[in-house]
A and B are shown apart, each in its own frame.
Chain A
Amino acid sequence: TQLLEQSPQFLSIQEGENLTVYCNSSSVFSSLQWYRQEPGEGPVLLVTVVTGGEVKKLKRLTFQFGDARKDSSLHITAAQPGDTGLYLCAGIKDGRAGNNRKLIWGLGTSLAVNP
């Protein structure tokens, strides 16, 4: 059972289009992170959300944490070829401490933005 359901798994769009990636769970998370990874490189942290209902913006990227802290979304406006990459959501389940504070990962969304 995948604790963090990420969708869609693959997405191919044209430059200028908008898109949304979803990360859903039946569990409550104390924090949730979004990463972007390019081939042959490690993931790069984009944002961390910790408060239910929180919205954070990073240029054309908008991140939202659900009110119940069980889901999150990443919205990209006017996508550009440079946005191409693997987007990963990951979170720490509520109540975890110490060594149990391990990130739980979604399966990732492979985004291709065509010029």
Chain B
Amino acid sequence: GAVVSQHPSRVICKSGTSVKIECRSLDFQATTMFWYRQFPKQSLMLMATSNEGSKATYEQGVEKDKFLINHASLTLSTLTVTSAHPEDSSFYICSARGRQGVGAYEQYFGPGTRLTVT
């Protein structure tokens, strides 16, 4: 099956610094990538959708200047949390969708990145 990796799996950073999270599709070309945020025992909250080579589309309430998304290639997207605050601490998950045939619309998820801002 399609595999999506994320790096790092865990990161601790100090308040005010920036941290970058990478998302890679390992065995397929991801034309669309999604970034989610998740709180404990809750569902996923979509932050933004990005298509390769174009600007990300952010969901309402998500600060695009704080959460910088770059989808530079068909296998790599990055999320940079700028000027991190403790309230940015969360579980961030990326998802990728490739050039699938008509019907399933399946997304494949990365293993997530636990961000802790101290």
Binding site for B on A (CB under 8 A): 30-31, 33, 35, 40-45, 48, 50, 86, 88, 92, 99, 101-103, 105-108, 110
22 A-B pairs, CB-CB below 8 angstroms? A31-B103, A31-B104, A31-B105, A33-B106, A35-B109, A40-B91, A40-B114, A42-B6, A42-B111, A42-B112, A43-B109, A45-B106, A50-B103, A50-B104, A99-B32, A99-B49, A102-B49, A105-B43, A105-B46, A106-B43, A107-B43, A108-B42
Give CA–CA (A115, B59) in the complex, Å: 41
Q: How far is the CA of A44 from the CA of B39 in the complex (A)?
A: 17
List chain B positions with a Cβ less than 8 A from chain A. 4, 6, 32, 34, 41-44, 46, 49, 51, 57, 91, 93, 95, 97, 103-112, 114
Which residues from chain A contact B111 at a C-beta distance below 8 Å?
41-42
Q: Which residues of B contact A105 (CB under 8 A)?
A: 43-44, 46
**Minimum distance in angstroms from A45 CB to a CB of chain B:** 6
Give bound CA distance, A40 to B46, whole Å: 18
Main secondary structure, interface of B, reads: strand
Nearest-neighbour CB distance to chain B for A86, whole angstroms, equals: 7
Decide: A99 and B51 in contact? CB cutoff 8 A: yes
